[in-house]
Copies of this chain bind each other. A is one copy, B any other.
């Protein structure tokens, strides 16, 4: 069996590199409880191991899809299609190179 992981007929999600993200956009993306939860949960998981629906947040899938769009637009998350689901990866290195320390502040989690 061939592993066609990554070559779907679906439109690939649009990504924004952290280098192209204004500070204000990055801050706004992280100034939301649901997205903070997503980023934290994502940080404590292996890359590409979590599909969008696998997160423990109290919102429907429509809102969830919206939040991932925001995270992508802020250069925080990279997504890839794997069969029927869309798996995620936190862009730690790239984002930290652009905004040193910012991600760390959010992940610290001391309120």
A contact residues vs B (CB 8 Å cutoff): 22-24, 27-28, 30-33, 36, 99-102, 104-106, 108, 111
Contact = CB atoms under 8 A, between A and B. Distances in A.
- How many copies of the polypeptide does the oligomer hold? 2
Nearest to A100: B101
Nearest to A101: B101
Nearest to A33: B24
A104 to B, nearest CB: 8
Contacts of A111: 22-23
Contact of A31 (B31, B105, B108): B31
A111 B21 CA distance: 8
Contact of A27 (B30, B101, B104): B30
